[in-house]
Amino acid sequence: MGAFIAKMLLPTVSSLVFLPAASVAAKRGFHMEAMVYFFTMFFTAIYHACDGPGLSILCFMKYEILEYFSVYGTALSMWVTLIALGDFEEPKRSSIIMFGVLSIAVRIYQDRWGYGIYSGPIGSAVFIITVKWLQKMKELRAVYPEKTVYTQQVGPGCCFGALALMLRFYFEEWDYAYVHSFYHLSLAVSFVLLLPKKNRYAGTGRGAAKLSCYTLCCCV
- Residues 85 and 64 sit within 8 Å (Cβ to Cβ): no
Domain containing 194 equals: 1-215
- Residues 169 and 117 sit within 8 Å (Cβ to Cβ): no
Which of the two residues, 94 and 54, has the higher pLDDT score?
94
How far apart are alpha carbons 180 and 41 in whole angstroms? 14
Predicted local confidence at residue 204, as pLDDT: 55
Residue 55 is assigned to a structural domain of this protein: yes
Nearest to 56 by CA among 69, 47, 43: 47
**CATH number, domain containing residue 59:** 1.20.1070
pLDDT tens digit string along 108-128? 998 888 888 999 999 999 999
> Percentage of residues in the chain with pLDDT exceeding 90?
64
Instruction: Taking residues 73-102, report their average pLDDT.
Output: 94
pLDDT tens digit string along 199-209? 887 655 555 55
Residue 220 is assigned to a structural domain of this protein: no
Report the first-to-last Cα separation within the chain, whole angstroms: 34
Residue 85 is assigned to a structural domain of this protein: yes
How far apart are alpha carbons 213 and 216 in whole angstroms? 5
**Does pLDDT of 2 surpass 90?**
no
Q: How many domains does the chain have?
A: 1
| Run of H or E including 218 | helix 213-218
User: Which stretches within 87-115 are classed as H helix?
Assistant: 92-110
- Residues 11 and 183 sit within 8 Å (Cβ to Cβ): no
